[in-house]
Homo-oligomer: A and B are copies of this chain.
């Protein structure tokens, strides 16, 4: 067992990532810790911050810890807020965008195949 404070996890450098604005990503539990199936990451989006509009072959399981914003796909922009869960399918285009007060969420992803 281990316990980890989010402040003790060094954020990933996203400055070179296209389409990212005001996002702090902390990998809380990963394969490097021995987690053999999936990873848990914490995202902090600043006001109006957003992730890239992209798609990939793995799913997202998300829980909004605080704040609010929208999650966008190719057809719609859906309002999300604290206490909501979001499932993004594999290969589905998506973007998370924070409202004025920012948004913090947990996002879990499967480990890549061996």
Contacts and interface: CB of A to CB of B under 8 A. Distances in A.
Contacts of A94: 1
Interface residues of A, number: 37
Nearest to A72: B1
Nearest to A111: B37
Interface string A16-51: 000000000000110001111110101000000000
21 contacts: A1-B89, A1-B92, A3-B78, A3-B84, A3-B86, A4-B85, A5-B83, A5-B84, A6-B83, A6-B85, A7-B83, A29-B85, A34-B87, A35-B87, A37-B59, A38-B108, A40-B85, A42-B85, A63-B106, A106-B106, A108-B108
